[in-house]
Structure 1
Amino acid sequence: MQEFRLERPASVPSSSLSVRGIAWMLLLAVMWGLSIPVTKYGLQSVPPLTLTAMRFAIAVLLLFLCRIGKPTLTLRALPRAAALGILGIGVGQVAQAFGIQGTTASVGTIISATIPIFVVAFAALRLGQRVTGRQQFGLLAAFAGIGLVALGRNQAVGSVVSSDVVGAFWMLLSAVAIAFYYVWSVELTREYDTAAVAAWSTLFGFLALMPWCAWEMSHSEVHLTAGVVAAAAYLGVAVSVAGLFLWLYILKTVSAPVAASVQYLQPVFGIAAAAVMFGDTLGLLFGVGVVLILIGLALAVATRRKAEEAVPHE
């Protein structure tokens, strides 16, 4: 995670997209797309809460280093930042870690790609934005796709399938919580710098996670290998910090609808990486589910919106 809304002028023309801009967008899609497979790799040696804590310990340090000498949040804003951090990390990222542990990286990647779709639904509830008929159809298509993805692996029936369904449920809970986090952060990111909100909410989420992480480490085997440290470093540096600042840079150089196209590329890179890293086999139902989710994503978010309503992913 760390995608944030950014209010900015809607006058950036799509024609401003250059070869360099395309390159940055592709890089961001790769960085965020690899998030789920890299998390799956790290979870092979350490339990979910521990890996999540390692990731955000690194992210907190880097985010606050980037904030040195810059305006921070007021005391009045800190309780809201704390609530956002607990929601985004304590619920969203923890659920994602458990989901990735319980299913394949491919399933986790494509369900995680539904976050913008839930953002549309929550924006309608919280911000009073109208949900069009096309968006409603997109939501239905995406939910149908999630069901097919959860059941669509080429594997034997029984406990393995049940495990995958539980993992898919955790991923779905994660997507809902993170989307909820984005929509409820709109007011705060309009009042304060986006990176400041990111730093403080991440800090509070990390602090809330620590007691649970300590309990997990006392009840589970933890094997800190070089690969695990590298996975946590990638998630903390590339996904949570560098990805955030690269996204903010992209938003300044191209129109929001063009920048938001990153959402469509992430699952492509994520599923490809999962196939290479773990040999994930993708059945017919999975393929149909992926198509439905991508169609739902396109219908739900490909509307004419203000720039501040554009929501990236991961």
Structure 2
Amino acid sequence: MSSQNVVTEVTINDATRSPLTLRNLGALLLLAVMWGLSIPVTKLGLQTLPPLTLTAMRFGVAAPLLLIFVIVGRHSMPWRALPRVAALGVLGIGVGQVSQTFGVAGTSASVGTIISATIPIFIVFFAALRLRQPVSGVQQIGVLAAFAGIALVALGHEGPTTSSQTTVGGATWVLLSALAIAFYYVWSVELTTAYGTATVAAWSTLFGFIALIPWTARELCSISSFHVTAQGFFAAVYLGVVVTVAGLFIWLSLLRVVPARVAASVQYLQPVVGVVIASALFGDQIGATFVLGVALVLAGLALTMTSRRPARK
């Protein structure tokens, strides 16, 4: 996945973490760039690959690499947990990542980036429902601000080219993706606590990829001519290796050495990087309405990630 497990992990006791060093700061900035490029690179891949095919190629690359870690590290998981993990994979990849890819096809890269940045906000909402974690008044204001920002970003944006134009349908797909991925992380809390984030990510990615295969085959059969270009191949490899695998392990490494709330600041940098890159690659226009919407989304994100005291188990 991506950085969306930030909110589920920021309750780690920061007292055991060392201060932020120059090396860790560099890793944090690198992670923001890696994840910030996710939506723009997806947009590039969709120029030559159909949506389901690009998504299947991405996780077809990521799944073996994650499984190697599980096998080499001997991170076992009981058979009784596999059905739940398989369901997670279908939800996170079959619904979350597929709808994100369809959404990116119908939005500009900058709009897709900003709407995807709301995933931590939905995590707070679902955690309140499923895990019975209280939502403060400040966090509620943050949710409202974020939704107002989404409306401004999605409805007040027009691109100079067809590939940069945003439709209501495309924005809806990305919003559905944000909801599905957020629920994925909240639903996976018990499993990741018991067996580890990387282990659950590896097996759920495998099952999600397997679920994609018949739908991808159907998509390819409906296309009269198809060939993988260098651009499409690069996009799939980047999303699979850099965003999904390397990003996960850099994130987990950061959580071991720096305060979790400092590491979570990547959530604020990621959409900024995405918008800047999208503007450079696709000529996305950044007008006053768009800037206001981005500001509201980031403010909502900041408010929903605040708490008066660390969570206790």
**TM class by shorter-chain length?**
over 0.9
Q: What amino acid sits opposite 2:93 in the alignment?
A: I
Consecutive aligned runs of 4 or more in structure 1 exceeding 6 Å deviation: none
Equivalent residues of 2:159, 2:283 under 8 A apart: no
Deviations 1:211-256 (A, max 9, x none): 0000011113533111111110000000000000000000001111
Q: What CA distance in whole angstroms lies between the structure 2 residues aligned with 1:154 and 1:217?
A: 31
Relative to structure 1, the CA distance from residue 9 to residue 93 in structure 2 (aligned partners, 3 Å threshold; closer, same or farther) is closer
Q: What CA distance in whole angstroms lies between the structure 2 residues aligned with 1:305 and 1:84?
A: 30
Question: Is the aligned partner of 1:150 residue 2:158?
Answer: no
Secondary structure of the structure 1 residue equivalent to 2:79 = coil
What residue is the counterpart of 1:138 in the other structure? 142
Relative to structure 1, the CA distance from residue 155 to residue 38 in structure 2 (aligned partners, 3 Å threshold; closer, same or farther) is closer
Equivalent residues of 1:6, 1:248 under 8 A apart: no
What residue is the counterpart of 2:218 in the other structure? 215
The TM-score normalised by the length of structure 2 is 0.93
Deviation for aligned residue 1:53: 0.1
The correspondence for 1:192, drawn from 177, 191, 195, is: 195
Relative to structure 1, the CA distance from residue 308 to residue 278 in structure 2 (aligned partners, 3 Å threshold; closer, same or farther) is farther
The correspondence for 2:268, drawn from 264, 285, 290, is: 264
Deviation for aligned residue 1:285: 1.5
Question: Is the aligned partner of 1:104 residue 2:108?
Answer: yes
Deviation for aligned residue 1:73: 1.3
Relative to structure 1, the CA distance from residue 257 to residue 304 in structure 2 (aligned partners, 3 Å threshold; closer, same or farther) is farther
Count the aligned residue pairs: 305
Deviation for aligned residue 1:12: 4.0
Equivalent residues of 1:110, 1:290 under 8 A apart: yes
Q: What amino acid sits opposite 1:246 in the alignment?
A: I
Identity of aligned residues (%): 61
The correspondence for 1:127, drawn from 127, 131, 141, is: 131
Secondary structure of the structure 2 residue equivalent to 1:285 = helix
What residue is the counterpart of 2:84 in the other structure? 80
What residue is the counterpart of 2:293 in the other structure? 289
Q: What amino acid sits opposite 1:218 in the alignment?
A: C
Relative to structure 1, the CA distance from residue 301 to residue 187 in structure 2 (aligned partners, 3 Å threshold; closer, same or farther) is same
Relative to structure 1, the CA distance from residue 155 to residue 54 in structure 2 (aligned partners, 3 Å threshold; closer, same or farther) is closer
What residue is the counterpart of 2:53 in the other structure? 50
What residue is the counterpart of 1:171 in the other structure? 174
Q: What CA distance in whole angstroms lies between the structure 2 residues aligned with 1:180 and 1:56?
A: 19
What residue is the counterpart of 1:312 in the other structure? none
Equivalent residues of 1:104, 1:280 under 8 A apart: yes
Secondary structure of the structure 2 residue equivalent to 1:67 = helix
Equivalent residues of 1:37, 1:105 under 8 A apart: yes
User: Unpaired segments of 5 or more residues in structure 1?
Assistant: 310-314
Equivalent residues of 1:45, 1:222 under 8 A apart: no
The correspondence for 2:185, drawn from 182, 185, 192, is: 182
Relative to structure 1, the CA distance from residue 217 to residue 305 in structure 2 (aligned partners, 3 Å threshold; closer, same or farther) is farther
Relative to structure 1, the CA distance from residue 71 to residue 43 in structure 2 (aligned partners, 3 Å threshold; closer, same or farther) is same
Q: What CA distance in whole angstroms lies between the structure 2 residues aligned with 1:126 and 1:46?
A: 37
Q: What CA distance in whole angstroms lies between the structure 2 residues aligned with 1:13 and 1:264?
A: 24
The correspondence for 1:228, drawn from 226, 229, 232, is: 232
Q: What amino acid sits opposite 2:19 in the alignment?
A: S
The TM-score normalised by the length of structure 1 is 0.92
Deviations 1:15-45 (A, max 9, x none): 6110111000000000000000000000000
Q: What amino acid sits opposite 1:93 in the alignment?
A: Q
Secondary structure of the structure 2 residue equivalent to 1:129 = coil
Q: What CA distance in whole angstroms lies between the structure 1 residues aligned with 2:270 and 2:10?
A: 23
Q: What CA distance in whole angstroms lies between the structure 1 residues aligned with 2:167 and 2:312?
A: 36
Deviations 1:105-163 (A, max 9, x none): 0000000000000000000000001111000000000001101111121459xxx97x5
Deviation for aligned residue 1:302: 2.3
Deviation for aligned residue 1:283: 2.2
Q: What CA distance in whole angstroms lies between the structure 2 residues aligned with 1:260 and 1:54?
A: 29
Q: What amino acid sits opposite 1:27 in the alignment?
A: L
What residue is the counterpart of 2:241 in the other structure? 237
Equivalent residues of 1:100, 1:167 under 8 A apart: yes
Relative to structure 1, the CA distance from residue 116 to residue 7 in structure 2 (aligned partners, 3 Å threshold; closer, same or farther) is closer
Q: What CA distance in whole angstroms lies between the structure 2 residues aligned with 1:2 and 1:109?
A: 12
Q: What CA distance in whole angstroms lies between the structure 2 residues aligned with 1:42 and 1:305?
A: 43
Secondary structure of the structure 1 residue equivalent to 2:80 = coil
What residue is the counterpart of 2:23 in the other structure? 20
Q: What CA distance in whole angstroms lies between the structure 2 residues aligned with 1:38 and 1:74?
A: 36
Question: Is the aligned partner of 1:89 residue 2:93?
Answer: yes
Larger mean Cα displacement after TM superposition, 169-178 or 62-71: 62-71
